[in-house]
Amino acid sequence: MFRLLRYFSLASGIALLAVGLILVVVYRQTSFNGMVEGVERENVALSRALANSIWPRFAEYVKTNAPGEGPALRGRAESTGIDSVTRKLTTGLNVVKVRLYRRDGLTVYSSDFSEMGTNASQDPIFARSVREARPASQVRLAASITGINGNLKDRRIVKSYLPILGPNGTVEGVFELYSDATDNAATIAQRVTFLSIGLVWAFGLLYGVLFIIVRRADMFIKRQYYDLHQDVSDRLESESHLLRTLEQAETANTAKSQFLAHMSHELRTPLNSIIGFSEVMTQEVFGTIDNPQYLEYAGDIHASGKHLLCLINEILDLSKVEAGAMEINEQTINLADAMRECEAMMKDEAKKIGIGLTLAMPNDLPDFRGDPLRLKQIFLNLLSNALKFTPPGGTITLGANQNEAGGIQIAVADTGIGIAAADLNRILLPFEQADGFLEHSDSGTGLGLALTKSLTELHGGKLSLTSDPGAGTTVTLNFPPERALTTQPELPLGR
C-alpha cells in the first residue's frame, strides 16, 4: 500500500528545509550587499571631502613629485600634511585607514606610514576602479589592522577604491578607504539568526499542521481500504455461497422432477386399470349389480380415479417443464377449429350449470404454429377454471384475434367470482389456490394455471391475469407474431 505519511514527512521536511535555507542565504546576501553599497556611498562622500581638502594642495606632489620609495615618502613633509588633514576629516567616523595612490598604484600616502611606497597595481579591484574610473568595494575579514587610532583585531572591513578625477575626466589618483563594518555585520548576523529562528517556528508549525492533516487523511484512506477489502471478500464469499446454494437447489430440483416423473409414470399404469374396471362396473357390462350402494361406490371410484389421473398427468407435465424436458410438437393448427372443438367439449357441462359459453373471433383469424395437444390443454384448463368459478347465469367467452404487431391474443373471460388482487401472482405458482376457493369449488389441484403458464411460455407467449372480484376474470395469452401463420388472400386475376 502507498505509504502516504512516510513520503509526505520526508518530502515536505526536505522541501521546507530547502526553502528555509534559501530564504536565509538570500536574506543574508541581500543585507550584506545593501550594507556594502551604503558604506561605499559614505566613502564616496568622504573621499570627495578628502579630495577637496588635499588635492588643491598636494595634487602635483602626488602625481609627479613624490619619491618612489617608502623611507623617502615617510620623510616628506607632504606626507605629514596629508595625514593631518585625513585625521581631521575622519574623526568620529568608522573609517579606520586611508591610503592615497598615484595613478600607477604607488602608495604615496597611508595612515599606516609603514605601507607607504608599496604598489597596488596588481590588485584587480584597484585596477578595475582605475580602468572604469568608478568606485569599487570589497568586504573582507581583517584579523589585525593598524588603524588611524591604533591597532584593531578581527574586524569586518569594507574597503573602497575611490578614483580622483581630473577636469577632463581622467583618473589622477585613487583614495582607498577602510571602513569598519563589524557592527553592521553583527546586526545583519543577528537579524539572520532571528529570521532563522522565526522560520524554524513558522515552518515547524506548518509542518505540524500538515502532518496532522495528512495523518488523518492517511488513516481515513487506510480504513476505507480495509473496509472495502473486507466488503469485497464478504461479497465474494456470499456470492460463492449463493452459487453453491443455487447448484444444490438446482440438483435437488432436478432430482425432484425426475422422482415425480418416475412416480407419475408408475402410478398411471395401475390407475388406468382402476378407471377402466370401475367404468366397466358402473356400466354393468358383465351383469347387473344388485346393491345400488355398490354401483354408487363404483361411480365414485371411477370419478376419483379420473381426478387422480388428471392430477398425475399435470404433475408429470409440470416436472417435465421444470426439468426442461418438455418438447412441443410444432404443427400448423387451424386456431378457429381448435377453439370450436374445445367449446364443443365444454358446452354440455356449461349448459348443465346454466352458464353461457360463447366464441369470439374474426373470420380471418390466422393459423397458429404450435403443439395442437398442448394448445387444447391450455384452452381446456382455462375453460374448466372459468366453469368452476362462475356461478349459474354467468357467461364465459373464449376469444382470439391478431393484434396490430401481428401477434396472436387469446383470452378466456368469465363473469365469475374473480380473484382478489393479493392472490393474482400467487395462484400462478404450482399448488397455489386463492383463499376461500373451497366455498366455490369442490375439486382442484392448484396446478392448472401454473401448467398453462409454462405451456404458453414454451410457445414464446405470455400469460396475464386481470380480475375484478365479484365481476369476473380474464386470462389473456399473448403469442409473438412468429406464431401467426397468415395466408395471403388470393388476388383476383386482372385481365
Return the closest-CA partner of residue 389 out of 472, 281, 294: 472
Residue in the structure block whose three cell numbers are 615617510 = 74
285/46 Cα distance (integer angstroms): 158
Task: Please identify, using beta-carbon distances, which residue of 180 and 317 lies nearer to ligand ADP.
Answer: 317
Smallest distance, ligand ADP to C-beta of residue 434, A: 3
Smallest distance, ligand ADP to C-beta of residue 310, A: 9
Half-sphere exposure of 135 (CA within 13 A, CB side): 22
Residue in the structure block whose three cell numbers are 344388485 = 290
Task: Please identify, using beta-carbon distances, which residue of 188 and 412 lies nearer to ligand ADP.
Answer: 412
Smallest distance, ligand ADP to C-beta of residue 381, A: 6
Q: According to the binding rule CB under 6 A, does residue 394 interact with ligand ADP?
A: no
Smallest distance, ligand ADP to C-beta of residue 350, A: 13
Q: According to the binding rule CB under 6 A, does residue 336 interact with ligand ADP?
A: no
Give me the count of residues in the chain: 495
Task: Please identify, using beta-carbon distances, which residue of 215 and 440 lies nearer to ligand ADP.
Answer: 440
39/152 Cα distance (integer angstroms): 19
Task: Return phi, psi of residue 432, to 5°.
Answer: -100, 135
Smallest distance, ligand ADP to C-beta of residue 324, A: 21
Q: Which of 188, 447, 455, 484 binds ligand ADP (CB under 6 A)?
A: 447
Q: Which of 51, 339, 434, 484 binds ligand ADP (CB under 6 A)?
A: 434
Bridge partners (DSSP) listed for residue 408: 402, 479
Interface segment toward ligand ADP; rule CB under 6 A; list 2-10, 204-212, 352-360, 438-446: 438-446
Task: Please identify, using beta-carbon distances, which residue of 379 and 389 lies nearer to ligand ADP.
Answer: 389
Q: According to the binding rule CB under 6 A, does residue 385 interact with ligand ADP?
A: yes
Interface segment toward ligand ADP; rule CB under 6 A; list 30-38, 215-223, 301-309, 442-450: 442-450
Q: According to the binding rule CB under 6 A, does residue 335 interact with ligand ADP?
A: no
111/100 Cα distance (integer angstroms): 9
Interface segment toward ligand ADP; rule CB under 6 A; list 51-59, 244-252, 339-347, 385-393: 385-393
Alpha-carbon separation of residue 348 from 17, 69, 180 (angstroms): 105, 159, 137
Site string for ligand ADP, 465-494 (x = CB under 6 A): --------x---------------------
Q: According to the binding rule CB under 6 A, does residue 313 interact with ligand ADP?
A: no
Interface segment toward ligand ADP; rule CB under 6 A; list 53-61, 74-82, 294-302, 413-421: 413-421
Task: Please identify, using beta-carbon distances, which residue of 39 and 382 lies nearer to ligand ADP.
Answer: 382
Q: According to the binding rule CB under 6 A, does residue 389 interact with ligand ADP?
A: yes
Determine how β-strand 367-370 pairs with β-strand 408-414: unpaired
Task: Return phi, psi of residue 410, to 5°.
Answer: -120, 135
454/462 Cα distance (integer angstroms): 9
Q: Provide the 3-class DSSP secondary structure of residue 69.
A: coil
Smallest distance, ligand ADP to C-beta of residue 227, A: 49
Determine how β-strand 395-402 pairs with β-strand 356-360: parallel
189/186 Cα distance (integer angstroms): 5
Task: Please identify, using beta-carbon distances, which residue of 164 and 339 lies nearer to ligand ADP.
Answer: 339
Task: Please identify, using beta-carbon distances, which residue of 123 and 432 lies nearer to ligand ADP.
Answer: 432
Cell numbers placing 444: 382442484
Q: According to the binding rule CB under 6 A, does residue 54 interact with ligand ADP?
A: no
Q: How many separate helices (H) and strands (E) can be counted in the chain?
A: 9, 13
Query: Are the CB atoms for 358 and 400 separated by under 8 Å?
Result: no
10/170 Cα distance (integer angstroms): 61
- Let me know if 195 is exposed, middle or buried by CB neighbors in 10 A (0-12, 13-18, 19+): middle
Q: According to the binding rule CB under 6 A, does residue 419 interact with ligand ADP?
A: yes
Binding site for ligand ADP (CB under 6 A): 385-386, 389, 414, 416-419, 427, 433-434, 437, 444-450, 473
